[in-house]
Amino acid sequence: MNNTVIDAHNLTRIYDENTIPVYALNSVHLHITKGEFTAIKGPSGSGKTTLLNMLGGLDEPTEGYVNINGTNITQLKGNKLIDFRLNNIGFVFQSYNLIPVLTAQENIEFIMLLQKRPKAEREQRVTELLKEVGLIEKAGKRPGELSGGQQQRVAVARALAPKPQFILADEPTANLDSVSAGNLLDIMAKLNREEKMTFIFSTHDQRVIDRARRVITLEDGKIVSDTTPAPLVHTNS
């Protein structure tokens, strides 16, 4: 069990509890191991984003718990939860969420500044990540000077900067054209293969689903299937 990253048990999220209960999630059990490249799919309203938010400690379950590497994050409050997320979980959102006044380099470095990492370590890590995502020549550019695909690559690099336990990516390709989406997925798949980084996607995008090695389908707040299909082979030809 040493390779367990996430153990979620009986996750339930109920809205309007005092009137008519609406189950955003209904008794979801989920086990994620290190190195997974997993897509969570389902129609709008199926609970995908709610599930991701709970795995990332951004939302509290009505019932159940999330255990990350032996820590029950459902019991963490305030600064303890913030610090845990800062040091263990990377987030990639469809809206990029970059800080507009900071350069690509500064956006990637930002979380490491919050962690109070030494300057030399921060600089080395930023350079490594800019090379990984193919943006070393864009280090001094602000988000407004970058394309959508480039901004999302910066967002991925920022999520990876603190060397988290896993990355939660909520519809990361939703605002990208097909070429930019393909490039982004290639980068994330490479990081998954070479660095064993664990990626968990919430997505409608068939391109993400095709590349996933595990596909979890949600409907009405419940897991209705959990499969490990053979991913499509992508070539440069």
| 234 domain-assigned | no
Exposure b/e, 75-92, CB count within 10 A at least 16 = b: ebeeeebeebbeebbbbb
| 105 domain-assigned | yes
Provide DSSP, 135-186. -GGGTT--GGGS-HHHHHHHHHHHHHTT--SEEEEESTTTTS-HHHHHHHHH
Is residue 190 classed as helix, strand or coil in its secondary structure?
A: helix
91-95 average pLDDT score = 90
| 237 domain-assigned | no
| CATH number of residue 191's parent domain | 3.40.50.300
Measure the CA–CA gap between 214 and 206, rounded to whole angstroms: 13
Contact indicator for 95, 176 with CB cutoff of 8 Å: no
| 236 domain-assigned | no
| 56 domain-assigned | yes
The token duo for 209 is 């689903």
| 142 domain-assigned | yes
Q: What are phi and psi of 190, to 5 degrees?
A: -65, -45
Q: Record the pTM.
A: 0.90
Measure the CA–CA gap between 187 and 189, rounded to whole angstroms: 5
Q: What are phi and psi of 147, to 5 degrees?
A: -70, 170
* Integer angstrom CA distances of residue 50 from 25, 45, 199, 208: 7, 9, 17, 19
- 22: containing domain: 4-227
Query: Which of 51 and 95 is assigned the larger pLDDT?
Result: 51
At 1, the pLDDT band (50, 70, 90 cuts) reads very low
Measure the CA–CA gap between 183 and 175, rounded to whole angstroms: 13
Question: Would strands 63-68 and 4-15 be described as parallel, antiparallel, or unpaired?
Answer: antiparallel
- The per-residue pLDDT for range 188-206, each reduced to its tens digit, is 999 999 889 999 999 999 9
Measure the CA–CA gap between 10 and 23, rounded to whole angstroms: 13
At 232, the pLDDT band (50, 70, 90 cuts) reads low
112-119 average pLDDT score = 93
| 152 domain-assigned | yes
At 95, the pLDDT band (50, 70, 90 cuts) reads confident
Average pLDDT, the chain: 92
pLDDT number for residue 125: 95
What is the tally of structural domains in the chain? 1
Burial of 110 (0-12, 13-18, 19+ CB in 10 A): middle
78-101 average pLDDT score = 93
Is residue 209 classed as helix, strand or coil in its secondary structure?
A: helix
| 51 domain-assigned | yes
